[in-house]
């Protein structure tokens, strides 16, 4: 069975603080894909990053960085120098190779972490 | 920028009414999804489709039904709305390929059944 755990339900920080959102996943598949999405108050989910199981390189995009560690089954997301506009719910998600074609690409989402950045 | 649309954005309706939530995308994606998001934020996949005339149930059992007659359109219908159907409904689409690509989400429909 596959599962994504985001243990932090809510995090509150003050602007300019760094913050790390944790994501731990479970799967027996050797080929899988991990995603992060952001859901601002407007409601739609916005894609942030996709990482496949064979690529453990960390990634940095501006103030955002991701740390993928297969040894601990974690794919953590760090925001450096947080800003008020970063306030949102962040979801980590997992996709595995399906046994049949139709469900290919289906995502298993964590429960989300609500980040509040105060000025 | 993703082009996926949902209407209405907000809907308040009485118990027993039939409702259809509309979802359309202009990206030519073969795969489309419906999610239900509860107030606790958790997302549940309730339906998906991988092409015209295909519909599949998701991980969470739902009394709603869907249809996929055209690639760009994936409406969700509730034959008889109940207060337990009150929720946020999110539609998404993606390319249907291996490896899986990201899903693009619509703005959601917030449904309240009184």
Give the pLDDT score at B30. Answer: 92
pLDDT band at residue A30 under the 50/70/90 scheme: confident
Q: Any chain A CB within 8 A of the CB of B109?
A: no
The mean pLDDT value for B33-61 works out to 91
Mean pLDDT taken over chain A: 92
Q: Which residue of A has its CA nearest to B109?
A: A43
The mean pLDDT value for B61-86 works out to 95
Put residue A63 in one of left, alpha, beta given phi > 0 → left and psi -120 to 50 → alpha.
alpha
Q: Any chain A CB within 8 A of the CB of B106?
A: yes
pLDDT band at residue B40 under the 50/70/90 scheme: confident
Give the pLDDT score at A77. Answer: 97
Give the pLDDT score at B101. Answer: 82
Q: Any chain B CB within 8 A of the CB of A33?
A: yes
Percent with pLDDT over 70 in chain B: 98
Q: Are B86 and B12 in contact (CB under 8 A)?
A: no
pLDDT above 60 (res A68): yes
* Helix or strand holding residue A36 (H, E): strand A32-39
pLDDT band at residue A101 under the 50/70/90 scheme: low
Q: Which among A33, A45, A109 is the nearest to B99, CB-wise?
A: A33
pLDDT above 70 (res A58): yes
The mean pLDDT value for B43-63 works out to 91
Return d(Cα B60, Cα B36) in angstroms, integer. 9
The mean pLDDT value for B38-55 works out to 91
Task: Tell me how crowded residue A16 is: count the other CB atoms within 10 A of its CB.
Answer: 11
Q: Any chain A CB within 8 A of the CB of B88?
A: yes
Give B2-26 pLDDT, tens digit per residue. Answer: 599 999 999 999 999 999 999 999 9
């Amino acid at each position: 069975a596959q599962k994504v755990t985001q243990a932090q339900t809510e995090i509150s920080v003050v602007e300019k603080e760094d913050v790390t959102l944790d994501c731990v996943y479970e799967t027996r598949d050797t080929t899988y894909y991990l995603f992060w999405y952001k859901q601002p108050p407007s409601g739609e989910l916005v894609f942030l990053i996709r990482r496949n199981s064979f690529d453990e390189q960390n990634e940095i995009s501006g103030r955002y960085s991701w740390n993928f560690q297969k040894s601990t089954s974690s794919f953590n997301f760090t925001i450096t120098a947080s800003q008020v506009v970063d306030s949102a719910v962040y979801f980590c998600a997992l996709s595995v190779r399906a046994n049949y074609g139709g469900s290919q690409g289906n995502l298993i989402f964590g429960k989300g972490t609500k980040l509040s950045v105060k000025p | 920028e993703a082009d996926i649309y949902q209407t209405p954005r907000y809907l308040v309706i009485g118990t027993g009414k039939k409702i259809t939530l509309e979802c359309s995308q202009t990206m030519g994606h073969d795969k489309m999804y419906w999610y239900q998001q509860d107030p606790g934020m958790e997302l549940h996949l309730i339906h998906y489709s991988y092409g015209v005339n295909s519909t599949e149930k998701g991980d969470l059992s739902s009394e709603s039904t869907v249809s996929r007659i055209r690639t760009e359109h994936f409406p969700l219908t509730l034959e008889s709305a109940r207060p337990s159907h009150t929720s946020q409904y999110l539609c998404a689409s993606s390319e249907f390929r291996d490896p899986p690509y990201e899903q693009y989400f619509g703005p959601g429909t917030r449904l309240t059944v009184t």
